[in-house]
Structure 1
Amino acid sequence: MPDILSHGQYDTVYNFLSLVIASQLFTALFLLISLPRILPRYRQAITVAIIVCGIAAYHYFRIFDSFKEAFVTTSVGGTGDYTQAVGTGFNEGYRYVDWFLTVPLLLVELIAVLALARKVQSGLLMRLVPAAALMIALGYPGEISGENSLRIIFGLLSMIPFAYILYILFVQLSKSLTSQPASVRTTLSRLRYLLVISWIVYPIAYVLPLFNAGGGDAWVSKQVGYSVADIVAKAVYALIIFSVAKAKSYEDSSEFAASERSHEDAVKGRK
């Protein structure tokens, strides 16, 4: 962590942390209000999405408070540089606690919205959830270590469960996608890429210290990258999961689809 941040650097991190809090909170609120708009068999996936966004919002509140406590300024109006407060540091551990809880749940969302046979679903979750938790747990010791050798070791170890997750998503899960309605098959396939692409930000930030990428700009870039990745991997991902659940609800029940469309038309008419 840098010893000093310019006013612009401080405001950039401050504003992005605020953006993540708003994104996660209001996505969770939207999904909660919208639960009745999908069939009960798909509500488990959306409930998990609400929990994910809620967990993320809580931890970003903690990250936000930690950031404000870690950097202080004595300038009038807060327009000068910000320096590290004595005896206080920015707690990066909040992110890992968040990821340890939410990354496995992101995979639960995906499997739940597929609504597969119970045996198939249980088999996928029994492999994906422990692998996701192990991936995050192995990365943390390297993140907090000041030694590059330990960072490399734990980074490589965390890539083993990550590679296994990729295998399940793009080899094993592909077989299950063929049973999905044609209207959502492409979206579900692309959803896996969205998840993986958003995850790539994390290992990139993880290896930056190995290349002596330090200073205020590098640290701020890392915080912004983490924030954007969390918005995409949780809020945007959850909204796409909801759109899939809604489309599948319409496919499963023509009566439900007609009722929902009638409701939407009525709302538009009132406007």
Structure 2
Amino acid sequence: MLEDVTLTVGQYELVLNLFSMTIAAFLGGFIYLLGMRSQVARRFQPALLVSAVVLAIAGYHYWRIYGSFQGAFAVSGDVAEPTGDSFNNAYRYVDWFLTVPLLVIETIAVLALAKAEKRSLLIKLVPAAALMIALGYPGEIAETTGPRLVWGTLSTIPFLYMLYVLWTEMGSALSRQSDAVRVKFRNLRLLLLGTWGVYPIAYLLPVFASEASASLLVGREVGYALADILAKALFGVLIAQIALVKTAELIEAGEVDLTDGESVRVTAP
């Protein structure tokens, strides 16, 4: 198993420092999103709240991942050797199982679509997100290439379905949004595509290696952590920016009055 390899002190500290940076990014994003809720119209506040919840869940699990990784290795001289305690990678999948469906929910919530349209998208995307993560986990813990490829392929099916819905059916909903919102939402979808594309690469790293190695373990953890920062913390910032733009448009159209208590102190993005 990957967790049975010996790391250099530099590799060990790289992973721990990256986990620490990830926790800090989630904490900072969580505080930012809670602060931004008062600056957007009430109809967009649930999207920011869900985004903050995503970061809180992710931050907790990375704190547990940090502790588990620290306990799995002991520094001795110039190396960090396995202690015999397992590195619990399941924390990451529990996190994804909870947060990926919530990422879908916040994406749809910030558009403030009609109730029927919103329900239709949620019914299609949320179960697919949960299924994608559930199917990927057995392959992640598999010790041989065959099961990893089988479960990875099965997990790819709902992944491709989600991308199809995000680019087609949600695309029709975007046609009714302003140019400014469409541009920001295009960036949001590109971020999803870019970051979600990193996960399969990290997932398949063991397939392309003849044996477990320190570089393989470090590559997997670095890939997953960086993708999580972008797919959750940066994603949440983009959600807030979309909410700010849409709030400003509502104010300009006279649909939201700053004096009616619905929103306060809207700041241009």
What is the TM-score normalised by the length of structure 1?
0.91
Alpha-carbon separation, structure 1, partners of 2:117 and 2:7: 51
Residue 158 (1) aligns with residue 155 (2): yes
Corresponding residue for residue 183 of structure 1: 180
Corresponding residue for residue 233 of structure 1: 231
Q: Which residues of structure 2 form unaligned runs of 5+?
A: none
Alpha-carbon separation, structure 2, partners of 1:55 and 1:259: 28
Corresponding residue for residue 136 of structure 1: 133
Task: Name the SS for the 1:145 alignment partner.
Answer: coil
Alpha-carbon separation, structure 1, partners of 2:191 and 2:258: 29
Higher share of residues assigned helix: 1
Sequence identity, in percent?
A: 43
Residue 102 (1) aligns with residue 107 (2): no
Residues 222-256 of structure 1 deviation map (CA, whole Å, 9 limit, x = unaligned): 11111110000000000010011011001011343
Corresponding residue for residue 245 of structure 1: 243
Residue 147 (1) aligns with residue 147 (2): no
Task: Name the SS for the 2:265 alignment partner.
Answer: helix
Corresponding residue for residue 37 of structure 1: 39
CA contact (8 A) 2:39 2:264 kept: no
Residue 208 of structure 1 aligns to which amino acid in structure 2? L
Matches within 5 A, 1:115-126: 115-126=112-123
Alpha-carbon separation, structure 2, partners of 1:73 and 1:171: 51
Q: Which residues of structure 1 form unaligned runs of 5+?
A: 265-271
Corresponding residue for residue 51 of structure 1: 53
What is the TM-score normalised by the length of structure 2?
0.92
Alpha-carbon separation, structure 1, partners of 2:264 and 2:29: 24
Alpha-carbon separation, structure 1, partners of 2:53 and 2:223: 23
CA contact (8 A) 2:9 2:75 kept: no
Task: Name the SS for the 2:87 alignment partner.
Answer: coil
How many residue pairs match? The answer is: 258
Task: Name the SS for the 1:180 alignment partner.
Answer: coil
User: Which of these residues, 162, 171, 185, is aligned with residue 174 of structure 1?
Assistant: 171
Corresponding residue for residue 111 of structure 2: 114
CA contact (8 A) 1:250 1:256 kept: no
Task: Name the SS for the 1:83 alignment partner.
Answer: strand
When residues 11 and 50 of structure 1 are mapped into structure 2, their CA distance, relative to the original with a 3 A threshold, is same
User: Considering only aligned residues, what root-mean-square deviation do their CA atoms show, in Å?
Assistant: 1.7
